[in-house]
Amino acid sequence: MSKGRWNAGRVFAIIAAVIILFIVLGIAKGIYTEWLWFNSLGYASVYTTVLKTEVLLFFAAALIFAVLFLGNLALAARFAPGGGGKWLWPWGMFAPRQKSAKIGIILGTAVLALIFGLEAQGQWQVVLQFFNAEAFAVMDPVFHKDVAFYVFSLPFFHMVRGWFLGALIVCLIAVAGMYFFSYSRQRMKFDQARSVMAHGWGIMIAILGLAAWSYRLDIWGLVFSPRGVVFGASYADLHAKLPGLWVLFAVVIICAVVIVISIMRRNLRWPLYAIGGWIVVAIIAGAIVPSLMQRFQVQPSEFAMEKPYIEYNIDFTREAFALNRIEELAFPAEESPTAVDIAQNVATIDNIRLWDHRPLKDTYNQIQAIRLYYDFNDVDVDRYTIDGEYQQVMLSARELSAEKLAEQAQTWVNRKLQFTHGYGLALSPVNEVTPEGLPVLMVKDIPPIGDFEIVQPAIYFGEKTDDYVIVNTDTPEFDYPMGDENVYGYYQGDDGVMLNSFFRRLVYAWQFSDFNILISGELNSESRVLYYRDIKERVHHLAPFLELDSDPYLVVNDGGLFWVQDAYTTTDSYPYSQPLSSGGPNYIRNSVKVVVDAYNGTAKFYVVEPDDALIRTYQNIFPDLFLPIEDMSESMRAHLRYPLDMFDVQVSMYRSYHMKDAAVFYSREDMWAVPREIYAGTEQPVEPYYVIMSLPDEENEEFLLMLPFTPVNKNNTIAWLAARCDGENYGTMLDYKFPKDKLIYGPSQIENRIQQNTVITEQLALWSRGGSRVIRGNLLMIPLGKSNLYVEPVFLQAEAGGLPELKRIIVAAGDQIAMKSSLGESLAAIFDTEVTPPEPPQPPEPPEEPQPPGPEEPEPGEISLLIEQAQLHYDKAQEYLKEGNWAGYGTELERLGEVLRQLEQLAEGTE
């Protein structure tokens, strides 16, 4: 029987050893592959910084817990009945089963130490931030501490307190269990031995000390209180909750003193009474009193008492979300633009975005995918200078979708070695349309041809590159199709981990759970494995402490293709700042622009908000990761744009926090909303959109991100917000407010007027009855001159999934609406009003009496000539207007004005 037990124990030990070995090897494999990947990108120091911190935290926490846990068990073994007051290993009191007890206690300690070590290891970011913190240079208005204390120090203190509290509670439970076992085994009643009480209550005193520290931390945490009318410490918090926390702090200290006295007097009741009193005081001082004050003292005079705290909330929220950078300006918002406004804003008209990204993506996929295994995943908006003109374009990368290969071609060699990358892109102006209703492509086909020279069109890293590939193998890579044949090549980039040894192949076969890596005869000493190829995944893996924008965008620069990924620093610990959502961040900065080479996979992190305390802290932690924005090439900086996600966050907060007066904010009398529009037959919020336009009082056109606002529960437009994207003005935000005594149509009102226009609705209904799907695109409000112009494209798509075609453009200005085949025709239909040149001034009647010599009268032929010239310029301007030639239209209006001025001068000379 004993032999059988021995064999079972040996088998169990062997199995446990194998499992432990497998876990250790798995951890080592993960560390090794991670180091290889970071090193291949030149960021080995980033990984080693995190790794060293994690290892240090893990072993320090595990060791501290093991010493704490085993030490307390050893004390219990000494003080328990049968211990004889001698120092024993904890398992010494379990005779005659000391061996089993020893294994159990050691394994239990190891498991618990592992858990507490992993818990500490997971807090590496909190620890590194605490020891590398940079100041915000902003003091909270209550406790007068720098915001850095709340962002970096307070989370660290909470982490330390929580870890030790958990460890002491586990120790207390284990010690109580050992004493219970010992007294039960000796069949003795608890005799309140001083040593036993000192041990148990000593642990309890340590727990009480942590509870007292917790109350002290909670005092600082009042700046995050949601109790009042706004986020942050309220009147009741500072006049009831704060004193209550100090009272509780004192009560906990008193409890600890009572426990010390009770140990000396061997009295078990006093600590129980003290703890019971603590609970009662916690309920009264911590909950009941603040609630009563809030209900009976604050609420009847809420605004008067909460006013200073509302002001704190407004100021700190505006600072945390960079709303205090928004410059407020007046916009006259006249009823309608004029023909002169159209002529004077030719570049704006020529860059109105007619194409919507959703139907355009479908169109790209049908006319430019070229092969079934290519896919356009997303369409981006950007601007380029083309033939000397600043022009807004839409572009999309032609990425490889290996899952679309034919079923027979779904082999490991094809998916991992041969079909490794996408190729090229499609690029078209936002406002140009072929007679067939298709986009005018400036870059198209494979290999790419057009107005841009693409030196390296291969896309190994993108938005659909979700899996690993192996390059430079004995199997040539499919590069691109050429007619009925294919062109093959090899990867010439620097990225990837070399698979130049059997050991590395073994490790990566395990890493990807793919045995083919180990046994394939196609791999050689030059082969490289490329992974983490998805742009967001790649950037997140390099810098997991940054929040990423949802849409990386493609840029053509110096003949190469690059992805720009916007990254944010955020925290939920900014005092008095309103969180974006429950549990969401209450501070955000777009501090980093990450540029990833679509071919090489190299990633560069450029700091664009050097004053942000969070990014300065990360720069202290990872000095080799970040670069100043000045290191980015001018050609690439020309394509930086204000990110949509950041703009959306600021819009969400600005709807309320444009109100800076506490009384107005409290009454919510000027709340704003995002307007609604009709897209593809469904009502939805208007999305922020990029435009090229001239801002009021600015001469040059620039690239902007903008969005109009309406009052809450109303549909008229009240303001529009713009974020500038170009040059030194990048990041500047402007709020153009409309007069409140005017009714300015909002997007939903324009949509309603479109639906009420019988000519338009009959045409759309006719198309729908003809078996086609009518898609009304985004309605864009374009500020023009001193008024607004509304433009909405109409797409037609066969119900069976045909090609979306841009068929009509709806334009609304003031009370007029037109829908024609082109933007120029729609504008001409609205602005082609009859304007005739003024009648020439009539010469005065001859005087009856001699008059002194006066100015020389003009020759009749001179006046007639000027009238003919005015008519000629006017007729020419009308022709340009109908053609949509706004440059020519503006030129002719200027010439017409000059002729009219000459006629006016002649008229003055005859008086």
The DSSP code sequence of 437-455 is: S-B--SEETTTTEESS--S
- The predicted structure's pLDDT at residue 840: 42
| Mean model confidence pLDDT for the chain | 88
pLDDT level of residue 211 (50, 70, 90 thresholds): very high
pLDDT level of residue 9 (50, 70, 90 thresholds): low
**729-754 average pLDDT score:** 93
pLDDT at residue 572 tops 50: yes
- The predicted structure's pLDDT at residue 890: 67
The stretches of 725-883 forming alpha helices (DSSP H) are: 747-756, 758-769, 823-831, 860-883
Summarize pLDDT for 772-824 with one digit per residue, the tens.
888 998 999 999 988 999 999 999 988 776 788 999 999 999 889 999 999 98
pLDDT at residue 121 tops 90: yes
CA distance 155 to 817: 58
- The predicted structure's pLDDT at residue 6: 53
Q: Which range has the worst mean pLDDT, 27-31, 441-445, 490-494, 833-837?
A: 833-837
pLDDT level of residue 640 (50, 70, 90 thresholds): very high
E-only strand ranges, 86-200 = none
- The predicted structure's pLDDT at residue 835: 34
**608-621 average pLDDT score:** 96
**Residue 436 belongs to what H/E stretch?**
none
**6-17 average pLDDT score:** 72
Could you tell me which of 582, 723, 708, 587 has the C-alpha nearest to residue 644? 723
Summarize pLDDT for 478-490 with one digit per residue, the tens.
998 888 889 999 9
pLDDT at residue 235 tops 60: yes
- The predicted structure's pLDDT at residue 834: 38
Residue of higher predicted confidence among 877 and 394: 394
- The predicted structure's pLDDT at residue 208: 94
pLDDT level of residue 197 (50, 70, 90 thresholds): confident
pLDDT level of residue 195 (50, 70, 90 thresholds): confident
pLDDT level of residue 11 (50, 70, 90 thresholds): confident
CA distance 692 to 577: 34
**594-598 average pLDDT score:** 97
Q: In a 3-state reduction of DSSP, which class is residue 840?
A: coil
pLDDT at residue 440 tops 80: yes
CA distance 301 to 299: 5
| Residue 476: C-alpha distances to residues 182, 488, 492, 737 (Å) | 74, 6, 12, 61
- The predicted structure's pLDDT at residue 852: 47
- The predicted structure's pLDDT at residue 98: 59
**122-134 average pLDDT score:** 96
Summarize pLDDT for 506-532 with one digit per residue, the tens.
999 999 999 999 999 999 999 999 999
118 exposure class (CB count in 10 Å sphere: 0-12, 13-18, 19+): middle
Task: Give φ, ψ of 22 to 5 degrees.
Answer: -65, -40
Residue of higher predicted confidence among 649 and 273: 649
pLDDT at residue 843 tops 60: no
Summarize pLDDT for 18-71 with one digit per residue, the tens.
888 888 899 999 999 999 999 999 999 999 999 999 999 999 999 999 999 988
Percent of the chain past pLDDT 90, that is, above it, reads: 66
**864-871 average pLDDT score:** 70
Summarize pLDDT for 57-111 with one digit per residue, the tens.
999 999 999 999 988 888 887 777 765 555 555 555 555 455 666 777 788 888 9
Stated pTM of the model = 0.88
pLDDT at residue 841 tops 60: no
- The predicted structure's pLDDT at residue 14: 83
Q: In a 3-state reduction of DSSP, which class is residue 841?
A: coil
- The predicted structure's pLDDT at residue 134: 96
Sign for the CA dihedral angle at 487, 399, 594, 644 comes to positive
Highest mean pLDDT (candidates 4-18, 175-189, 407-421, 758-772):
407-421
- The predicted structure's pLDDT at residue 838: 39
**671-675 average pLDDT score:** 95
pLDDT at residue 455 tops 90: yes
- The predicted structure's pLDDT at residue 837: 39
Sign for the CA dihedral angle at 319, 321, 325, 328 comes to negative
Task: Give φ, ψ of 772 to 5 degrees.
Answer: -115, 155
Residue 640: partners with Cβ closer than 8 Å, 6 or more residues away: 564, 593, 608, 725, 730
pLDDT at residue 544 tops 90: yes
Q: Which range has the worst mean pLDDT, 286-300, 456-470, 702-716, 889-903?
A: 889-903
Percent of the chain past pLDDT 70, that is, above it, reads: 90
